[in-house]
Structure 1
Amino acid sequence: MRLVQVFVPRGELDLVLETVESTGLDYGVAAETSHDEFEAIVSIPTPPPGVEPLLEALRRAGLDEQAYTVVTAAETVVSSRADDLHGQFSGTRISREELQARAADLAPAASTYYALLVVSTIIATAGLLLDSAATIIGAMVVAPLMGPALAASVGVVVDDENLAQRGVTLQISGLVLAVVTAAVLGWVLRGTVLLPPGLDITTIPQVAERISPTLLALFLALGSGVAGVISLVRDVGSVLVGVAIAVALIPPAATAGLGIAWGDPTVVITAGTLVLVNMLSINLTALLLLWLAGYRPAQDTDLERAYGRLRSRVLVLGVAIVLLTAVLGGVTYGTYQTAAVEHDVQTELEAMSADPPLEGVAFQEVAFEYELLDVYTGQQPVATVLVERPPGTELPDNFADDVRERLETATGTSLEVIVELVETQRSH
């Protein structure tokens, strides 16, 4: 339930009461004596879907916007009349005015926003380098990036240019700050006793997870945007924490920063693509869902302008997402190719060990070098194969070529094969 309190300017009490009565809502009137400008306070209990029609009726009646109209959440209402009030209004979304207020809260003061962003980026960077999933989740909860995305979308659909611009500015500056913070931290830590010498960040599982994004990341981002809008318009703020964890904006941004610190452009491109896809998808879904939910500017004269801005932003976001999706598609295909070739090599080596070309010989893969970029640069996969043979067993001079040909036939790919021979004695 909501309690709407209207501070009625002098001479307009009858107008306010007639308007409230026309909506069918109950109300109470209290005299206002603390300020000469107001003559009474009208308190009106209403369910959330009734707030917007009530405020719209007061606006159409000509109530001066300089008057105070306060909407507060009523934690508990003890009255048998409450059920009747709920029956008068359908729907579950909050009013436009409440939406704007909540969106403004999601785009906090710059000092608070940037402080939380730096802290969350430091936590995420440490979690990535430590390969600690729990630490990274903690960074996701602290990160404030989700709020400005929703605030920007709300600003567009209700024609609040200041809110929309603030949301966009906080998003762009926040992402840049997160990447720079992670890059600086990575550069400071690299080569110190806190990290192993010669550390390859791509071998860290938590980093590797964010530099191999697939098309599934797009569906995750779109779903997170839907959940974020639902939590906002239906007043379920706790869901935003889960959305922040699901969409994970800060960890890939921190990964991109580490890629800069380590001078690895592949890490920067793949992680950067992931964070941009997430952010843009949230903005796109928020814009579309808020408009479909029926949110519009307060003044009908502003409707055309808001719709024009909505169309232009949806177009820009859509084109950007399509381009980034092409990158995700390339990563998805490249990741599949590398995994498929390695799987075929392993399967064929197992078959060769089960039915060896020479008695007592066994095959094992000890290393496989085939990276994402190799798929597109034409670089040959390199498979290192350990061959166990009984002592004194002679192998043909072209044994390595025979192994390579079998593996190439199995994978359908040109390979470079390195054969390492060891003499093995087995006792049963």
Structure 2
Amino acid sequence: MLHLRVITPSDRTDEVVLLIEKTVGTTHLVVLPGAARDPAGDVVMCDVAREAGDELLAALRGLGIDTTGSIAVESIDLSLSERADRAEADAPGEGADAVLWEQLTDATHEESTLSVTYLAFITLATMIAACGVVLDNAILIVGAMAVGPEFGPLAGLSTAIVRRRPRLALRSLIALLVGFAAAMAVTVAFSLFMDAVDLFSEQQLKADRPNTGFIYAPDWFSFVVAVLAGIAGTLSLTSAKSGALVGVAISVTTIPAAANAAVALSYGDTKQTWGSTEQLLLNLLGIIVAGTLTLLAQKWLWSRQPKNAP
């Protein structure tokens, strides 16, 4: 279930209340006349089944409530109410299959912001992965994958394509390009420093690396895994099962590939640099294609569900 808190101008309250009452899957309607001060107006609250949430949000935006007032949505972790159970049963479809497009767009917008924190995480993850590739240490590689924040902009790009949001697409693309460029540049400097203090060596990079050699040797399996990870990651975002994102993060080699390319570049190893770059681009492409197709499939499947009726 979702909890909606709407601030509406007093002259639009009746329309909002009527809309909520007509939407199948809503319950626990509360109206507080004159309770809002900034912006001034009435407060209308209700609970709505997740599968009816997107339709209700779209209708509220159609009334202009997002510009004249506000619409806030929260997930309800526990609701002990027979009315709530009945509302969920009456709403068409399954809550786990429903996509809250406004929530998804907002979440990916935030995750796609090029911030100091984002740059710090992607740079630290790449530096950790650099240690992993030089030492041929799979544990460090997995740790770097888990730290990397790159799935946010990738999901943002897929969402922007499906939702036709050019600004979100541009924001996501900038975060990806600038983030990886900055992380790799810092990692090159980090690699040179580690070499200067005898912690990295070119011999380690060029030695047999059974645990990490795949990073600079892309093949079709790399693309297949990226596609599967993109599907899983997108489903975890749309179904609010964020725990699955950790598994997605450690199944693709974006961060390790960037790290291997940076270390190889610092030693002038063009073969590994190019192979790692191919691996990076292949993974990025697979995730974006899979994420976009998954969202399109979800949108189509949900359009086949019976609509709410008064």
* Aligned-partner SS, 1:6: strand
Higher relative contact order (CA 8 A, sep 6+): 2
Deviations along 1:41-62, one digit per CA (max 9) or x if unpaired, are 1111012111111122333445
- Within 2, Cα distance between the matches of 1:261 and 1:207? 18
Q: For structure 1, which segment, 99-108 or 218-227, has the greater mean C-alpha deviation from structure 2 after superposition? A: 99-108
* Aligned-partner SS, 1:294: helix
Unaligned runs of 5+ in 2: 301-310
The aligned counterpart of 1:290 is 295
How far off is 1:134 after superposition? Answer: 1.2
1:16 aligns with 2:42: no
The aligned counterpart of 2:304 is none
Q: For the structure 1 residues 268 and 64, does the alpha-carbon distance in structure 2 shift closer, same or farther, using more than 3 Å as the test?
A: closer
* Aligned-partner SS, 2:37: coil
Aligned equivalent of 1:151, options 147, 152, 156: 156
* Aligned-partner SS, 1:33: strand
- Within 1, Cα distance between the matches of 2:16 and 2:203? 74
TM-score, structure 2 normalization: 0.88
Greater helix share, structure number: 2
Figure out how many residues of one structure are paired with residues of the other and give that number: 295
How far off is 1:151 after superposition? Answer: 0.8
Percent identity over paired residues: 26
Unaligned runs of 5+ in 1: 296-428
The aligned counterpart of 2:54 is 52
* Aligned-partner SS, 1:32: strand
Q: For the structure 1 residues 150 and 62, does the alpha-carbon distance in structure 2 shift closer, same or farther, using more than 3 Å as the test?
A: closer
- Within 2, Cα distance between the matches of 1:90 and 1:34? 34
Deviations along 1:210-263, one digit per CA (max 9) or x if unpaired, are 122221111001101101110111111111111010012111110111111121
Query: 1:310-325 alignment to 2 at 5 Å?
Result: none
* Aligned-partner SS, 1:263: coil
The aligned counterpart of 1:33 is 35
Letter in 2 for 1:71: V
Deviations along 1:373-427, one digit per CA (max 9) or x if unpaired, are xxxxxxxxxxxxxxxxxxxxxxxxxxxxxxxxxxxxxxxxxxxxxxxxxxxxxxx
Q: For the structure 1 residues 22 and 278, does the alpha-carbon distance in structure 2 shift closer, same or farther, using more than 3 Å as the test?
A: same
Deviations along 1:101-131, one digit per CA (max 9) or x if unpaired, are 2212322451111111111111111122222
1:141 aligns with 2:143: no
Q: For structure 1, which segment, 62-71 or 231-240, has the greater mean C-alpha deviation from structure 2 after superposition? A: 62-71
Deviations along 1:178-231, one digit per CA (max 9) or x if unpaired, are 322332222222254324685453423344221222211110011011011101
- Within 2, Cα distance between the matches of 1:249 and 1:194? 24
The aligned counterpart of 1:218 is 223
1:263 aligns with 2:265: no
How far off is 1:89 after superposition? Answer: 2.7
RMSD (Å) for aligned C-alpha atoms: 2.0
CA contact (8 A) 1:178 1:250 kept: no
- Within 2, Cα distance between the matches of 1:198 and 1:21? 71
Q: For the structure 1 residues 109 and 175, does the alpha-carbon distance in structure 2 shift closer, same or farther, using more than 3 Å as the test?
A: closer
- Within 2, Cα distance between the matches of 1:250 and 1:124? 7
Q: For the structure 1 residues 234 and 128, does the alpha-carbon distance in structure 2 shift closer, same or farther, using more than 3 Å as the test?
A: same
CA contact (8 A) 1:10 1:37 kept: no
In our comparison, the structure showing a higher alpha carbon Rg is 1
The aligned counterpart of 1:324 is none
* Aligned-partner SS, 1:204: coil
- Within 2, Cα distance between the matches of 1:104 and 1:36? 25
